[in-house]
A and B are shown apart, each in its own frame.
Chain A
Amino acid sequence: MTLAQKFQKLSARGKSWWILGVIIVFVIIVALTVGGNYYNNFSKTLAAKTNDIVMLPLVTPIPFSLGLDLQGGTHLVYSANVAGIPAADQASALASARDVIERRVNAFGVSEPVVEVNKSVSGEYQIVADLAGVKDVSQAIKIIGETPTLEFKELSPAAAAVSAKLNASSTATTSVDLSAAQNWQDTELTGKYLQRATLQFNQSDGSPEVSLQFNSEGGKLFEDITGRNIGKPVAIFLDGYPISTPTVNDKITGGNAVISGHFSVDEAKMLVTRLNSGALPVPITLISQKTVESSLGSQSISDSLRAILIGLLLVSLFMILYYRLPGLLSVLSLLVYGLTVLAIFKALPLWLALILIIIMIALIFYTFNELKIFNGTLAVLFAIIGILLFIYATQAITLSLSGIAGFILSIGMAVDANILIFARTREELKSGKSVSQAVDAGFKRAWPSIRDGNVSTIITCLILIFFGTSTVQGFGTTLFIGIAVSLFSAIVVTHTLFVIILGDWLEKRPWLLGARRPKTEEVSK
């Protein structure tokens, strides 16, 4: 006889003991995932106390990913002005601006900065930088903002005309002010094409100069510009100001340019560093920031933890007082629920995420099959939920205040499926069914309501996730994970526990289920 056949021969309760075994393995895995460092500390203490006789294997703790409002840090939104860049090149220019900002923040010592390019509804490009745990925000902003924009400009037609007149007649009295930005017009050559800047010294007078090496594309552009401006000045603009306005003597090939200005050695050195760490290909302006001091963040963490515990306690108390024994079972499944959700919040390795999700989906399918309400639509629904859960399990869900509120709300809503089932079970008991029949019918008949109610909430969650801003997305994600896991905990965990405790002893004590049977029923038994 194969194992499967043996399993089929077991009684409903016998099977449930096996399922309970699987659930316990599942709970141990999620508990180790959630509280890995507590477990490690415990096994280390245990080893120390028993002189290394009891050596429990250690697990790799996975940290929660905390949002800026919980660990302190700053969220900066820059608007990127791509007006001067041809449409085809905008994406790459933005991407390199992003890289430059990331390098700058990295240099500032922020661990794992998140820098992203977003497109707003109105079509404006934004660069968003999340700097967690940064101490001196204003310094960070300065460093990002000071990133130089390097531009090469030639004289505007009007100014060129004046300049030409100037050269033609020595009697002209007007002159072109080369330091005025309005006399210059943009060329295509910008810091984007810069490969390397180096400090060198002028061979004739030893004054410091900055040598620029362009990439091949930039070299060609530079050749064109110098070619059409022989005898005329061109300007090198840094951060919107001309820093050097040399007059072109000859067409320059090879992609090399020299800025010789009135630098001191230190100034020239600074300029080289700034140019090398990245000339921003796109000008940016800070349009929004959100900064949270780290002490406020840790205050929020302890507040949230307290709220989670108190919320859990209140809901548990209510469930036990109102629903008695089933209430107690639902509290147990609520604990499984809480641990599972917290585990999914972490960035799990692929294999672990796969194991957890497969166990959950398999147990759900098994339970539906036992209840004889399994069908294709259900399989599709849970396959979709399973895939989404798997994706979320492999990623770190960033916990922010609103995300945690979503989690706490989902604790309150997770008992809904239980409440629906218990309410139905009570009704069936009142109609005179035996306890086991009533439990079975209770689950079966509560299911359509559970399904429809949760699907409509899942739709809302998906809308929150796809169309919301990041705060709203965080809330939608945690709420979705909560609802998906609550289906598992209510259908699988509560049901299994219920089937196991069913029995004659319970038939004689219907008050444990909170049901008063009609007198006539008891007589007829």
Chain B
Amino acid sequence: MIYKIIQKRRIFLSLSTAAVALSVLALIFWGLNFGIDFTGGSSLEVQFAGYHPSLSEITTSLQSANLHNLVIQPTSDSYILKFKETSEDVHQAAVKDLQTLATAHTGASFKELQFDAVGPSIGQELKSKSFNATAIAFVMIIIFVSFAFRRVSKPVASWKYGVAAIIALIHDILFTLGVFSVLGHFYGVEINTPFIAAVLTVLGYSVSDTIIVFDRIRENLPKSQEDFENTVNRSVNQTLTRSINTSFSAILALLAVLFFGGSTIKDFALALIVGIFVGTYSSIFVASPVLVVWDKIVRGQKNG
């Protein structure tokens, strides 16, 4: 059974174009919801036992600490407080106020679970480091793909495989960022350091997935009786099960992290799941069709 994937490329490419366009729009209008790792600020997680203060009670108790941009997010068994100040004095003052709030109620106890403070200069540094890492990864991957496909030149030049892989890659990154832009806008999901690791991993995964499809095209081309379009389609079909199964097992492992790995790395796992899903999609429905479209355009020019 051979699916007509390349023949139906118009549908898939339109779908992808639409998804990427929506992602870009989301990024333009909503942007990304950067967390304190990037913006600087503090995040304090506290737990009350034997007494559950309302959000307004917490806010009132913290008035003397004079916290700016205070946001309180209740979790299942704790509260996460975010504010702009990062100094240890303000932190201690806030903890003291919350402690007082707890001791005012008999039988209540209070515990500080977690405190993160990131100075604004660190956030700036993280931004430039992340940008550098992503840029370097892009360059290295283009070099690697061109190198891996250096012996394939007919009918499509080797560097075009590299470009097609990069197009698929940009598609995956934009889509993942788009999803997180939407999640950030509607559900307050934040972008912090682990997200960068996730994006870079998706970058590597997407390319390795695309390379495996291209490897099959490279293997099939010399002995193929069919035209380029059909050879590509056959190669995509041959690698289809593998692509889906590998992503499925990786996503199974990540689902275990998402549901059982604790709240701290939920967003990280989610970013990887979205990225790996779209990475697999693009290796099948974007990268190879782009190769064929490119070939057709070049041929069209030659014939015309």
Binding site for B on A (CB under 8 A): 69, 77, 79, 120-122, 124, 137-138, 141, 145, 286-293, 295-296, 299-300, 303-304, 306-308, 310-312, 314-315, 318-319, 322, 401-402, 404-406, 408-409, 411-413, 415-416, 419-420, 423, 427, 445, 448-449, 452-457, 459-461, 463-464, 467-469, 471-472, 475-476, 479
Is the pair A457, B208 in contact by a Cβ cutoff of 8 Å? yes
Closest to A293 in B: B113
Among A79, A293, A409, A454, chain B packs the most CB atoms within 10 A around the CB of: A409
Docked pose: A120 CA to B121 CA in angstroms: 10
Annotate B241-270 by CB proximity to A: 1 below 8 A, 0 otherwise: 110011011111111110011101100110
Stretch at the interface among B9-17, B99-107, B191-199: B191-199
Docked pose: A68 CA to B180 CA in angstroms: 27
Given contacts A304-B262, A472-B193, contact A287 B122 (CB under 8 A): yes
Is the pair B92, A138 in contact by a Cβ cutoff of 8 Å? yes
Q: Dominant SS at the A interface?
A: helix
B224 located at the interface, meaning its Cβ lies under 8 Å from any Cβ of chain A in the complex = no
Docked pose: A468 CA to B199 CA in angstroms: 12
Is the pair B194, A457 in contact by a Cβ cutoff of 8 Å? no
B227 to chain A: closest CB distance in Å?
Answer: 22
B122 to chain A: closest CB distance in Å?
Answer: 5
List of A residues within 8 angstroms of B60 by Cβ: none
Given contacts A287-B122, A288-B117, A408-B261, contact A468 B196 (CB under 8 A): yes
Docked pose: A461 CA to B207 CA in angstroms: 13
Say which size band chain B's interface belongs to: 35 or more
Is the pair B141, A464 in contact by a Cβ cutoff of 8 Å? no
Stretch at the interface among B26-34, B130-138, B296-304: B130-138
List of B residues within 8 angstroms of A472 by Cβ: 133, 193-194, 196-197, 200
List of A residues within 8 angstroms of B216 by Cβ: 449
Binding site for A on B (CB under 8 A): 45, 86-88, 91-92, 111-119, 121-122, 124-126, 128-129, 132-133, 136-137, 140-141, 144-145, 148, 193-194, 196-197, 200-201, 203-205, 207-209, 211-212, 215-216, 219, 238-239, 241-242, 245-246, 248-257, 260-262, 264-265, 268-269, 272
Docked pose: A290 CA to B121 CA in angstroms: 15
Is the pair A457, B205 in contact by a Cβ cutoff of 8 Å? yes
Given contacts A292-B114, A293-B113, A469-B129, contact A419 B242 (CB under 8 A): yes
Is the pair A293, B205 in contact by a Cβ cutoff of 8 Å? no
Is the pair B241, A423 in contact by a Cβ cutoff of 8 Å? yes
Docked pose: A412 CA to B246 CA in angstroms: 7
A202 to chain B: closest CB distance in Å?
Answer: 38
Closest to A413 in B: B250
Provide 24 A-B residue pairs closer than 8 Å at the C-beta atoms, listed in order of the A residue.
A79-B119, A120-B121, A120-B122, A121-B128, A121-B129, A287-B119, A293-B114, A310-B256, A311-B252, A402-B265, A405-B265, A405-B269, A408-B257, A408-B261, A409-B257, A413-B246, A415-B249, A419-B242, A423-B245, A448-B219, A449-B212, A460-B201, A464-B200, A479-B201
